[in-house]
Structures are given as structure tokens and as C-alpha cells.
A and B are shown apart, each in its own frame.
Chain A
């Protein structure tokens, strides 16, 4: 599988280097630097082949993460692994930057040891890793702590350990949605979709079973068979969700049969589900662009943004970002 993992800064200096298999030599590190990081033309593709070795890379701000392999692997899996690596590192020390990497050198090597063995991904759940790889180094553990850790690392429910206790049991839910809109220059809406995430922060004791419901269209149809037309009249708003994906802890079988989301949540913050909708989207803003050419050297662009919210709602910190204008080379 993955033969080696390298992390470089923006100058191409190697920050972390870990080789897992025999067929990757030290030259691989330099090859990537010369051919990709310092390549004169724009980066062509996230998969590069140099001397029969494939280099997959991901860039996070100024840091390059490269996975190297000589085998015919699944591209999607390698990229997913690189993302997971980034997620784990972010969960430990925040933003991925050169300074953070240099300061957490030991931690990253420990993580690389744990997550990839012989080039194969092993247990990569952040929660589990955090119990036995900590930034302060491992203090000598008592026997109970040891058994707790091993039971979580090896237990049936890998994402939550037994015996969590909180004085106050609390649960926070955040729904984060982003509306993506594609408009033609004439102002006509070509396509729009909403992608949303439900993020949950759970501070609950024991192994609690939670249930989560949504006003999904199918639920309402099931409740009142044949009254599908009356949903508008009764005032119940239903939404049609195109597809949704859940965290590993959600029991999918129950979702298919009863459309109910039941799960035992991991401790702390995690993403419960991700969903996408493409129908019945009420756009929050209307964007009207007007472009006028004034003579051969001047272009006037007017962009009108109207908000579709009720006038009683107030908003703070609205940011409108416009891509920098470019001009074709004119004679």
C-alpha cells in the first residue's frame, strides 16, 4: 500500500519523513520536491508519476503532504487517508502550519507509527488515539487506565469508552449549511444545492442511546398515507433530502426501516451527518450583475445584492467577496 509519507514546507524542506516499505528509497523525497514543489509550471494533477512511483499529494495552506507508493492502489483511499491524517493532526494541535508541525514533531511520528503499519491504515479514530497518545507524553498508567485504554482500542464500540461521567449531562447541536449557487451571466439560476452538516457536541455519561429526527418528506408521507397533498394545507413543512451520510456510530438499519437516526454518540465534538438538498431552496440573497462596456478601455460592473430575509431580521458581519477582475489582453 502506502510506501512512504512525507511532509514538506512551502520551500520544499522535508519536515517529516517516514518510509514504510522497502521499495521506496531516499531519492523519493527529493524527486517529489524537484518535480512537483519546484516545478515551473502549474501543478498538473494531484497524482504524479515519477520513475514508476506514484506520488499523491494534498496541500494544506503552505504544507505539502505526500504519500508515495509503487503499487496499483485505490486513489480514493489514499486521498481519504491523507485527509484523515490532516483531521487527526488538526484535532491535536489546530491549524496545520510549519510551526505547529515543528513543535509537535514527536507527536506526529507517534501518530504515523500508530495509524500506518507497514503501509496499511490501522485504527485512525481521533477519540481512540487521543487516549493513548497525548501531547504531554504518556505518564505511567495505573492498571485500570491500561485496561480501559486497551478495551477502547479493541472494544466493540471503538468510538466511545466505558465509564465516562459528567456532573451535568449536556448536548449541543449545530446545523451548518452552505448554499451553493451557479448563475448564468443573465441572472438565471442554473443550479443550486445546499450542503449541510449536523455537528454535535455531547457531554453525556455512560453509554447513552440518542435518537434524532428530521422532518424528512418520506416520514410525513408514511404518517399519513394518501394525504401527501394535504401537507401544504396542514402547515407542516417537509424537506426533500437528496442524500445523506452518517457518522459511523449511527445504526443504518433502523434508518432504512423507520427513518429514525439512533446512535451512541462519541464523547465530545463530532459530525453526526452530512446531507445535500437540491429542491425547494429559498435563496438567502439575490445577486444581479450588470456589466457595461464603456468604450474600448473601460468596463463598468454593477452588482446588486438583495436579501430575501424578512426586514425584521438583522445580520452582522456579512462579507461579500469578489474574485479579482482580470482583463483579456487588449490590443
Chain B
């Protein structure tokens, strides 16, 4: 969004900053700095006042320093020569007696992105690693990672890496975790930080000192460690036992993942872990914070893929409450579908039935499709419920029910009779393409059992000229031709009119081609057409054997607690498809997309 008057804003700010009176009054000066930052946040380019900001950094007030450094970190790449002037102050601050100032200066210096900064920051960072205040050490460690990013593809400094490895034994827990993170980034090309036996055991000992973020990350790093013996493996598992019941859901998830991956050769242990984590997961699914609830539900669905009966007895926890947002209700419905069993099917169906009349059309349709998928195992009850829903004569409900029927008839031919009896009641004007297609398909394939099928289809043919969806027209053609095979007398006239329209008047080429195809087929003779179109079907009493193979836990264990269950596998594949091709961000200004508005990737 173009900001008019950007130049005026900059000029005004420059005047305000250079004002002698403002400089004398600390609070007033700070307000001016605030205005600069505010403009920066809004997207105005205020890099013009860099000079004045550099002068402002020479102050004893820490808050003022922070504001100036924040500004400089954002704009240093635009004005590298001026930024060099600030380096002096920054270097001086790195030796300030106050550890807070030292830490702040070090952090800001490492975040300045400009060519040639490496030579200035190398020494302060190395000093910082040995600083006696742990606050400074924390900043210095991450500073190493930032430094490495600036250097891009150059060789990794072995001395630095060794120093970081030795800092893993630091007494401050946050320094330890920062070391792991920094090493991971620096050694990215070599596969990240190496967790060998002494390091792994050291980390396990320090787990109790770490805060929730640290524990989460260490548990993720421990995934790399391969215990040498079964005894060691079980020792580790018992040491980390407490993390499964931690108060922080992210630690619980990280611990679960670690256990599942470590115990990949012991399916018993894996099942045991999943049983023990049931409680915390259920607690997360019913927590007040919706986002955590959502993340937990995604993971529950993943577990149900392998252990369908796992949460069956707790099905009530997955009933939707009125005020929940849409995305949680959708997830809960899918979970309910998967945990249905003989004992709870009645209750679950009752509950889903009440969602079918929800105000939100999407939710109602979702509930109907859920009942449709449960119908594959519990056909009679579900068909009964769905037929009853037709009686409501609500457009979106009818449409969803008919679609559910279509899918069901395909998989469970034994319910065809019941479905066909219900069909005559849903001819009323359905507006959406999906519903119409489903209805027409059903009438075409099972039309001989539905007495007024030809007349319903005739209705559609009458209005084919005003039909907007080509898919519906295609379906109509196919269905009529099929029905014609079984009830020629009734359908001949209608079919003729439809074919005439499709060939002579239809503008969509696909539909026209299909019409031509059927016309020529019929020209070859009815017997010939029948042979082509009505090939023998399989015995309806056999039903369909669906691939119900449960996915073994090991298939998804490594994706637990990442974004994969949240997005769903298909979506994630799309997201990561181009990751490998993206150039590594070297960090030099011409390549860095951080500069406002230049060369950033386009967002769809």
C-alpha cells in the first residue's frame, strides 16, 4: 500500500530528532523515537533518519538504546555506510559493566545485516561466549548461529564449533539449549548437531532444570540418538517418564514422539505409550484453548489410524459443543467416525443426527457425510436416519443425503433397495451441482427399481437449456442412456430430445462430444449398445471389500508432533514440493528478502 507523504514524514522526524530541546528532555526524545518506530511498523520507509538515529544510540538510557538498535537492525542493509558508524558504540557497549547492556549490544550487532559486518562481530561474539554473566553467554551462542548465516556458504569454523560443543556443559540451562539450536543451524549442511552418548546422557540429566521450551527442543534433539542396547533404551524411557505427564502439551507431544521413535522395534512399548498418553491428549482435546485443542485433535486422528479402538470408550469427549468454532467441530466429527464401535454406535449416531440440522449448512453436510461413512459398517441404522432427514425437505440436507446415498450404494449394494424407496421424495428443486449429479446417477443406475425415474429425468431434460453445470448435463446423458436400456418405451422420447439438444444446440464441446458418442453408439443398434453399456456386474450380495489395513505406528511416528498431521499428508506434500528447490538464504542484502518490498517471493 503506497504511503503518500513518506518524504514529509521523514523530514518531520528528522527535524524532531535534531531539535536541541527534545534531545535534552529524555522523555520527549523517547517519544520521538517511538514515533519513528511506529512509522516503521506501519511500513513507511524511514531509513532517511538513520544518521540521527546513530547519534541517538550514544546514550545511557537502555530503553532508548533498544529502540535505536531495533531501528538499525531493520535498516542497516539499506544504509551500510552509516551503520558502520554505529558499530563503534555497539563495540563499546559490548564491554559495558552492566551485563544487560552487553547482552543487548551483542544481540543487536549480530542482527545487523550488512556486508563486512563479520570482521566486527567475530571478536565480541567470542568474548561473549566466555563472559561470566550467563545472560551474555546465551546471546553470544545464538550470535554464533547468526554469524554463520551471514557468512553463507563459507567454511564452518571448527574452533567455534568445538567451543559450542563444550558450552553444552554450561551450568545455565538456557545456554545449553541455545548451544544445541546454534549447532543445529551451523552444521545444517552436515546434518545438524551430533548427539553422541555422553551428550545424550548429559542432556537427560539436565532435563529437569529446563523450562518447557527447552524440554520440548531437547526431546526433539534426542530423536537423533540411537541407544546401543536394549537396557540403555529402557533406562532412557524410564528417565523421561515424567515428561509424558508434563503440564505443557508440547512437552507431552514431544515425549510421545521420542518414545514412539525410540521403541520402533518394540510394538508393545509403543502401544503402552499410546495408552499412557491418552489422558493428557484427551485433556488437551477438551481444553479451553481452541488452538491446542485443534492440534491435539489432529494428532488423535493420526493415532486412530493405527489404533481405531483406542479412544472408543471416550467418545463422549468428542461431542461438539455449541460454541466451538467450525474447524474444531469438523475435526471432532471425523474423529467420531473413526472411533465408532458396536457399543457406542447408537449414541454417536444420535449425536450426529442432531448436528445434521445445524444452522451452518457446511456443518450439517459434514455430519451427513460422517453418517454416510459410518453407514459402511452399520448400514441399516444409518440409512434409516438419512431417509428420515429427507423428510425435512431442506435443500442442503437433501443434497448431502443424496450424495451420501450414491457413495453408499457403490460400497454396500445391499442397501440399494432401501435407498431406491427413499429416492422419490427428493425430486424437489435441488440447486447445487453435486446433489443433482448424485441424484441423476442413482436414477440412471438403479432406475428400474424407482417407478417414476424417467419422469424425474424428464424434468431435468426440460430444463437442460438453463442448466449451468456441464457436469450435470454429462451425468444426465449417461443416466438416460442407461435407463433407456431397461425402460425403452418411457425413455425414448426424452432421450431423443436430449440428444438433439446436446448435438445441435449445446456449446460446451465436452458435452456435445459425449452426446455424439451415445448417438453413434445407438445408431449401431440397441443390442450393440446394451452390450457396451450394461456389462455384467458383480454379485451384489458379495459387498465390497475395502482395504481396512491399519497403518502401522512406525509409518507416522516420525511425523508426529510436526505440522504434518495438522495439514494432512496431501496438503503437506504440496507445501514441501518446492522446498528442495528454493535457494538457501545466504543472507547478503541483495538476496535477503527481509528488506521491505524488494524481491520478496510473491504470495498467492
A residues whose Cβ falls under 8 Å from a Cβ of B = 1, 13-17, 19, 22-31, 42-47, 49-52, 54, 56, 58, 72-77, 79-83, 105-106, 109-110, 113, 117-118, 120-125, 132, 137-138, 140-141, 146, 149-150, 153-154, 156, 158, 182, 184-185, 190-191, 193, 242-243, 245-248, 252, 274, 276, 323, 326, 328-329, 331
Interface centre among B37, B61, B63, B149 (most CB of A within 10 A): B63
Minimum-distance CB pairs A-B, first 6: A245-B247, A25-B600, A77-B250, A25-B593, A154-B134, A121-B213
Residue-wise, chain B 105-146 has the 8 Å CB interface mask toward A (1 for contact) of: 001000001000000000000000000011100110010011
14 contacts between A and B (CB under 8 A): A22-B149, A26-B600, A47-B294, A51-B602, A52-B576, A52-B578, A74-B220, A77-B254, A79-B289, A109-B37, A138-B63, A243-B245, A326-B359, A328-B394
Contact of B100 among A51, A132, A190, A193 (CB under 8 A): A132
Instruction: Please determine whether B63 and A141 come into contact, CB atoms closer than 8 angstroms.
Output: no
Instruction: Please determine whether A77 and B294 come into contact, CB atoms closer than 8 angstroms.
Output: no
- B41: chain A residues at CB < 8 Å are 14-17
Which B residue sits closest to A50, measured CB to CB? B603
Instruction: Please determine whether A120 and B327 come into contact, CB atoms closer than 8 angstroms.
Output: no
Within 8 A of A (CB), among B561-604: 561-564, 566-567, 571, 575-576, 578-579, 585, 587, 592-597, 600-604
Q: Closest CB-CB distance, A240 to chain B, in whole Å? A: 14
Which B residue sits closest to A134, measured CB to CB? B63
Contact of B43 among A14, A58, A110, A149 (CB under 8 A): A14
Instruction: Please determine whether B323 and A323 come into contact, CB atoms closer than 8 angstroms.
Output: yes
- A45: chain B residues at CB < 8 Å are 294, 327
- A30: chain B residues at CB < 8 Å are 1, 603
Interface centre among B41, B172, B246, B579 (most CB of A within 10 A): B41
Which B residue sits closest to A15, measured CB to CB? B41
- A51: chain B residues at CB < 8 Å are 601-604
- A75: chain B residues at CB < 8 Å are 295, 298, 562-563, 566
Q: Closest CB-CB distance, A139 to chain B, in whole Å? A: 10
Instruction: Please determine whether B174 and A276 come into contact, CB atoms closer than 8 angstroms.
Output: no
- B224: chain A residues at CB < 8 Å are none
Instruction: Please determine whether B585 and A22 come into contact, CB atoms closer than 8 angstroms.
Output: yes
B202: Cβ under 8 A from any A Cβ = no
Label chain B's interface by main secondary structure.
helix
Distance, CA A27 to CA B170, complexed state (A)? 40
- Contacts A74-B250, A113-B107, A190-B316 hold; do A44 and B327 have CB atoms under 8 A apart? yes
Distance, CA A8 to CA B594, complexed state (A)? 19
Contact of B70 among A82, A113, A154, A158 (CB under 8 A): A113
Distance, CA A274 to CA B296, complexed state (A)? 19
Instruction: Please determine whether A46 and B290 come into contact, CB atoms closer than 8 angstroms.
Output: yes
Interface residues on B, range: 35 or more
Which B residue sits closest to A120, measured CB to CB? B181
B317: Cβ under 8 A from any A Cβ = yes
- A47: chain B residues at CB < 8 Å are 294, 563, 566-567
Distance, CA A105 to CA B62, complexed state (A)? 15
Distance, CA A138 to CA B101, complexed state (A)? 11
CB < 8 Å A-B pair total: 220
Contact of B34 among A22, A106, A153 (CB under 8 A): A106
Instruction: Please determine whether B142 and A120 come into contact, CB atoms closer than 8 angstroms.
Output: yes
Instruction: Please determine whether A118 and B146 come into contact, CB atoms closer than 8 angstroms.
Output: yes
Instruction: Please determine whether B596 and A42 come into contact, CB atoms closer than 8 angstroms.
Output: no
- A28: chain B residues at CB < 8 Å are 603
Residue-wise, chain B 259-289 has the 8 Å CB interface mask toward A (1 for contact) of: 0000000000000000000011001101001
Instruction: Please determine whether A243 and B283 come into contact, CB atoms closer than 8 angstroms.
Output: yes
Distance, CA A17 to CA B321, complexed state (A)? 35
Q: Closest CB-CB distance, A132 to chain B, in whole Å? A: 6
Instruction: Please determine whether A43 and B323 come into contact, CB atoms closer than 8 angstroms.
Output: no
B382: Cβ under 8 A from any A Cβ = no
Distance, CA A308 to CA B74, complexed state (A)? 62
- B213: chain A residues at CB < 8 Å are 77, 81, 120-122, 124
Q: Closest CB-CB distance, A40 to chain B, in whole Å? A: 14
Which A residue sits closest to B322, measured CB to CB? A323
Q: Closest CB-CB distance, A177 to chain B, in whole Å? A: 14
Within 8 A of A (CB), among B215-253: 216-217, 220, 242, 245-250, 253
- A243: chain B residues at CB < 8 Å are 245, 279-280, 283
- Contacts A46-B291, A76-B253, A323-B323 hold; do A113 and B66 have CB atoms under 8 A apart? yes
B325: Cβ under 8 A from any A Cβ = yes
- Contacts A43-B325, A47-B563 hold; do A76 and B34 have CB atoms under 8 A apart? no
- A125: chain B residues at CB < 8 Å are 211
Contact of A49 among B142, B209, B323, B575 (CB under 8 A): B575
Contact of B563 among A46, A72, A184 (CB under 8 A): A72
Instruction: Please determine whether B587 and A109 come into contact, CB atoms closer than 8 angstroms.
Output: no
Instruction: Please determine whether A31 and B603 come into contact, CB atoms closer than 8 angstroms.
Output: yes
- B423: chain A residues at CB < 8 Å are none
- A323: chain B residues at CB < 8 Å are 322-323
B212: Cβ under 8 A from any A Cβ = yes
Distance, CA A215 to CA B525, complexed state (A)? 87
- A149: chain B residues at CB < 8 Å are 100
Distance, CA A117 to CA B323, complexed state (A)? 37
- B113: chain A residues at CB < 8 Å are 22
Distance, CA A208 to CA B601, complexed state (A)? 56
Distance, CA A113 to CA B113, complexed state (A)? 17
Contact of A26 among B66, B354, B597 (CB under 8 A): B597
Instruction: Please determine whether B247 and A246 come into contact, CB atoms closer than 8 angstroms.
Output: yes
Instruction: Please determine whether A140 and B174 come into contact, CB atoms closer than 8 angstroms.
Output: no
Distance, CA A150 to CA B250, complexed state (A)? 28
Instruction: Please determine whether B291 and A56 come into contact, CB atoms closer than 8 angstroms.
Output: yes
9 new A-B contacts at CB < 8 Å, known A14-B42, A16-B41, A184-B350:
A22-B593, A25-B593, A26-B43, A30-B603, A52-B578, A72-B562, A73-B562, A122-B138, A146-B100
- Contacts A14-B41, A190-B316 hold; do A22 and B594 have CB atoms under 8 A apart? yes
B32: Cβ under 8 A from any A Cβ = no
B55: Cβ under 8 A from any A Cβ = no
Distance, CA A329 to CA B98, complexed state (A)? 69
Distance, CA A252 to CA B37, complexed state (A)? 45
Distance, CA A109 to CA B561, complexed state (A)? 30
- B246: chain A residues at CB < 8 Å are 245
- A274: chain B residues at CB < 8 Å are 247
Distance, CA A14 to CA B298, complexed state (A)? 30
Instruction: Please determine whether B250 and A49 come into contact, CB atoms closer than 8 angstroms.
Output: no
- A247: chain B residues at CB < 8 Å are 247
Distance, CA A248 to CA B1, complexed state (A)? 46
Instruction: Please determine whether B248 and A80 come into contact, CB atoms closer than 8 angstroms.
Output: yes
- A118: chain B residues at CB < 8 Å are 142, 145-146, 181
Which A residue sits closest to B587, measured CB to CB? A22
Distance, CA A82 to CA B279, complexed state (A)? 24
- B62: chain A residues at CB < 8 Å are 137-138
Distance, CA A140 to CA B97, complexed state (A)? 12
Residue-wise, chain B 1-15 has the 8 Å CB interface mask toward A (1 for contact) of: 100000000000000
- Contacts A27-B600, A76-B250, A153-B135 hold; do A42 and B326 have CB atoms under 8 A apart? yes
Instruction: Please determine whether A52 and B250 come into contact, CB atoms closer than 8 angstroms.
Output: no
Instruction: Please determine whether B317 and A191 come into contact, CB atoms closer than 8 angstroms.
Output: yes
- A72: chain B residues at CB < 8 Å are 562-564, 576
Instruction: Please determine whether A76 and B292 come into contact, CB atoms closer than 8 angstroms.
Output: yes
Distance, CA A125 to CA B211, complexed state (A)? 9
Instruction: Please determine whether A76 and B561 come into contact, CB atoms closer than 8 angstroms.
Output: yes
Instruction: Please determine whether A110 and B579 come into contact, CB atoms closer than 8 angstroms.
Output: no
- Contacts A73-B563, A121-B213, A328-B357 hold; do A22 and B592 have CB atoms under 8 A apart? yes
Q: Closest CB-CB distance, B265 to chain A, in whole Å? A: 25
- B254: chain A residues at CB < 8 Å are 74, 77
Which A residue sits closest to B280, measured CB to CB? A243
- Contacts A14-B41, A191-B317, A328-B394 hold; do A52 and B292 have CB atoms under 8 A apart? no
- A158: chain B residues at CB < 8 Å are 211
B67: Cβ under 8 A from any A Cβ = yes
- B500: chain A residues at CB < 8 Å are none
Which B residue sits closest to A140, measured CB to CB? B60
